[in-house]
Every structure is written in C-alpha cells, then in structure tokens.
Amino acid sequence: MSLDLGISGSDSSRHPPATAEAHRSVTPLESALWCAEQGWPVHPLAPGRKTPAANCGRCRDQPHSVQDCPCIPTGRWCHGFHSATTDPRRIRAWWAEQPRFGVGVACGPAGLVVIDVDAHPAPLPDPARLLPGIHIPASVSLGGLQHGFHSLALLAALRGQQDPSQDDTTLRVRTPSGGLHLWYTARPGHQWRCSTGSSAKRALAWQVDVRAHGGYIIAPGTTTAQGTYTVHGSVLRPAPLPGWLTAELERTGHRPSSAAPSPPTPVPSRARAAVMAARGGRDAAERTLATVLRAVAECAAVPEGSGFSEKLNRAAFTAGGLVGAGRMVLADAESALVTAATQARPGQERRSLQIIRSGMSAGSRRPLDPGVPA
C-alpha cells in the first residue's frame, strides 16, 4: 500500500514510517527525520532495545543534573529524552555514528499523550484495580477479560464512548508484543503525567499505560529484538486527545502541570528503614541519601523513559561519597539502594546492582560532606 504524505523531492530520508500494510520498511534515520519534521523531538535508543542509548563515560561516572551537563549543548545524546531534538543536522550525526539506533520521541516537548495498551498474559487483578476509581456493577460480566485491550474497551463502554483502540482517526502503532500505541496531541499548555497501568497510585486502566510529560514513546519503524513497531492503518497524524479521555486522565491523577503540585513520592518504607540503619552519618547524611533515593522511587510510576539508570547511578554515587567520608556503612547504604531499585524496577535486580556498585565505587573516591547537597 502506498501512502501519500504530500511530500515532494527525492530525499529518501523523508519517507513515512513503515506500516503493517506497506511493502517497504524505513531506516531508523528516515524514521527519526520524519518524526522531527512533525515537530516531535527525537533521541537515540540503544540498538535492538527500548531504552535510551548509553550516556558517555563522564556522565556515567560523575553524576550531575541535566542542566549542568556540557554534553547536550555540544551535540551528544546523553540523558535520554532530555537530549531530544528536531535538528536534522544533529539527528544525521547521531545516526551516522550508529545507524542501528532506535528512535525515541520525547512526549512532553512534542505535545503528545500516548495511550499504551498492553496485551501481556497475566492474572486478572481485583476488580477495583481494573478501572481505578470506578465501581464496576455486579451485572457487568468480566468473563474473558484478559488484557489492556479489554480493560480500555470496558472503560469506554461504561462511558458510552468508542473503544480508543478502534479509533482510526489517529496514529496507531502496533508493538512487537501485540500491544497498541494510540497517539494523541495534548491541549496547548497542558502537560499530562505518565503512569503505568499496574500502579496502585495513578493509572487509567489495567495494562494501559500513559506516556506524556517526563517520558518518551518508541517511534514507528523502530526495530527491537522482539520485532518492529509498525503503523496500524493509514493515518499518520495524531488526533486531538478526546474530551472524555481528557476527563478520565484528570480523574485518575494525570493532572496538567497547571494543577496544584502533588506531594513528593515517599521513599519506600523498606528503603527508608535501610537508610535509618545506615546511621554513621546521622541526620544530614540520611537526608542527603533519602533525597536521591526518592528520585529512584518515583521511577516506579513510569515503566520507561524516566531516566531510572541515571537516577540510580546518581544515588549510588552519592551513597559512595557518604561511605567514603565515613558517614555511612557500606553494606547498609548498598542495601538501601538495592531496595529502592527493586521496588522501582522489579525484575531488573542484576542490572541495578551493577549500576549501584559502579556508582558507589566512583563516589567513594570523592568523599561527600553530608552538609553539602548532592
């Protein structure tokens, strides 16, 4: 099937992303440039993976804020979606260095809200977790409900609306795992928050994630070890976020940035207990470590694109500095980090431990005065 985007010229970089119906796939560079032309800032993903390309050695070994990083102004892709750009020269340079990079789109700067529908085989949760905040009448049969497509369809039916997965007016992208990304544009000035459909605190529906401000989405045409993200249907532009979904996002805590700020995410109780056990540095050291652990804990609300590795590395570097200064006990500080990382990213314990030990080793060589913020 040939898709006419009204694009003229012979520059092959301006082809649209691959579609399930198309015979020709596109290169990652073509996909990145096409996204940039839509005004969507892009950043590289590690080849064959869904995670951002690795930071440079300096950014890994010497944690610092994005604002203080010298790499991004000089054209590096450090810090994941924070480095995203629409500059075609920078994009060409990135993919010339590694043609196998995947393509991530920074949702916030792009003004996008993407509803990420999963189809993972999993036991059905308690009915109260299917559609948070909505009472499901006993007359509604839940037989056969198996995944996010079903829970989203149930939400739409209860609201008397069309099932969003059937919305052929907006860009829809099939995922290699059988899920679907529904791309919408946010109202100007609104910055919706990300969530995961398994969260007990903020969720739209079971197995339905929200990618928005502070996160990224994988661009169509990107190939991972599991397969390729392909456009479903012929529509290649996101439609405005439907009014009823806007209301549902507000109801479920995905508040725009103009709303009153939510309270900070607390450090998980087990991690907090581990921090209290590491009392070599008393209150100042505990507060310092608790601050960076909180940033790690907040990643639990965003399954991808939250900068988890970077935040964990920064926390480990800080903990190493406190240990190096004799303000905390090594085993207790590491325990606090492992606990926070496990709660934020269950199933990634081995990788998290590598980050923790590397960061603590680097931090121990730069002892930290607990009276100075990390």
pLDDT tens per residue across span 226-258 = 999 999 999 999 999 999 999 999 999 887 544
Q: To the nearest 10°, report the CA torsion of 77, 83, 86, 90.
A: -30
Q: What is the pLDDT along the chain (374 residues), one digit of tens a residue?
A: 222 222 223 333 345 565 544 445 789 999 999 999 999 999 999 999 998 988 888 887 777 777 778 888 888 888 888 889 999 999 999 999 999 999 999 999 999 999 999 988 788 777 778 888 888 777 777 777 789 899 999 899 989 999 999 999 999 999 999 999 999 999 887 789 898 877 767 889 999 999 999 889 999 999 999 999 999 999 999 999 999 999 999 999 887 544 444 444 454 554 544 544 444 344 677 778 888 888 888 777 666 666 788 888 888 888 888 887 788 778 778 878 887 887 777 667 778 888 988 888 888 888 876 554 44
Query: Are residue 152 and residue 221 in the same domain, yes or no?
Result: yes
**What distance in Å separates the CA atoms of residue 365 and residue 317, rounded to the nearest whole number?**
10
Same domain as 117, residue 225: yes
Q: Go through the chain and tell me how many residues it has.
A: 374
pLDDT tens, 332-355?
788 788 878 877 776 677 788 889
Taking Cα atoms as reference points, which of 113, 117, 112, 94 lies closest to residue 31?
94
Residues 6+ positions from 188 with CB-CB distance below 8 Å: 111
Query: What pairing do the DSSP bridges indicate for beta strands 216-218 and 112-117?
Result: unpaired
> Alpha carbon of 120 to those of 89, 102, 160, 175, 177: distances in Å?
39, 23, 26, 12, 8
- The verdict on 116 and 236 lying in the same domain is yes
Q: Is there a domain that residue 8 lies in?
A: no
In this structure, the answer to whether residues 115 and 247 fall within a common structural domain is yes
For residue range 95-139, what is the model confidence (pLDDT) as tens digits? Answer: 999 999 999 999 999 999 999 999 887 887 777 788 888 887 777
Spatial separation of the C-alpha atoms in residues 338 and 350, rounded to whole Å: 10
Domains: count for the chain: 3
Are 134 and 48 within one domain? no
Domain assignment present for residue 263? The answer is: no
SS3 content of the chain, % helix, strand, coil (to 5): 40, 15, 50
**Could you tell me if residue 256 is inside a domain?**
no
On whether residue 7 sits in a domain, the answer given is no
Q: Which of 225, 251, 277 is the last residue of a domain?
A: 251
Using CA atoms, how far apart are residues 363 and 368, in angstroms rounded to an integer?
8
Count Cβ atoms within 10 A of the Cβ of residue 338 and give its class: 0-12 exposed, 13-18 middle, 19 or more buried. Answer: buried
